[in-house]
Amino acid sequence: MKITPQLLYQILLDEFGELNWWPVDIKYHKKTGSDPRFEVIVGAILTQNAAWLNVEKALKNLKSKNMLDIKKISYANLNELNKLVKPTGFFNQKANRLKNLASYINNNYEGDLDFFFKRDLHEIREELLSLNGIGPETADSILLYAGNLPIFVVDSYTKRICKRLPLDINPIYDDIQKYFQNTLSKKFQKNEISKIYNQLHASIVYLAKTYCKSKPECNNCPLQRYCMYKKQLSQ
């Protein structure tokens, strides 16, 4: 049986349940009056070439200084910001990127994420991509997880699983994204598609970290009956 994005979604949902990604510290934001969506934006930049465990350390550092806020990061001293995000590596670059994005939102949208996200998805995406250090994966993570906008995120885990199953698509970002979006948007209601993209991408990440690793652990993988890579390993 050929696997489709819809079947992939259903299998992984049944296996892992609802993952409710992206995690944010709601208590912190209620206490400080900051916008929890900005934590997602910060995390999307910090997770570039970094393990999530290290991102959590940097987020903890930022919270300890009450810095997880658009205006505060836009006005932050870069040397101080460097130290706070150091656990994620490439901290000079990331501090600059965080400050640049926070300043952009602060200066152009009065630091208001409702104002920032309440526009055409493609317009926001092009705007994000125009900023230094924000590529498609980071931009789309911000759009989906912070903005709750209907765009499917493609990362190295998604590419790995598409190649191993395989799915009949070119293993490049735009083609994978269009394939998933074109297929899933026909199967689900418009008002639920953002949630579907969120759950599926989170499930793919969980699958790749648990089973479909660089050196895969196929025996307990919920996709093994569909996976050509597993069959090739067994031969």
- pLDDT, residue 1, reads 66
| Euclidean distance between CA atoms 119 and 104, whole angstroms | 16
Contacts of 20 (CB under 8 A, 6+ apart): 202
Could you identify the residue written with the tokens 């993209």?
197
* 90 alpha-carbon distance from chain centroid: 19
Task: Give the residue extent of every domain in the chain.
Answer: 5-20+152-234, 34-146
Give, in degrees to the nearest 5, the angle at Cα 52 between 9 and 227.
35
Going 82 to 84 to 85 to 86, the CA torsion angle's sign is positive
* 235 residues of the chain, pLDDT tens digit each: 689 999 999 999 999 999 999 999 999 999 999 999 999 999 999 999 999 999 999 999 999 999 999 999 999 999 999 999 999 999 999 999 999 999 999 999 999 999 999 999 999 999 999 999 999 999 999 999 999 999 999 999 999 999 999 998 988 999 999 999 999 999 999 999 999 999 999 999 999 999 999 999 999 999 999 999 888 877 6
Contacts of 93 (CB under 8 A, 6+ apart): 133
34-146: CATH number: 1.10.340.30
Please classify residue 107 by burial: count the beta carbons closer than 10 Å to its beta carbon, then call 0-12 exposed, 13-18 middle and 19+ buried: exposed
Please classify residue 49 by burial: count the beta carbons closer than 10 Å to its beta carbon, then call 0-12 exposed, 13-18 middle and 19+ buried: exposed
Domains 5-20+152-234 and 34-146 agree in fold: no
Class of domain 5-20+152-234: mainly alpha
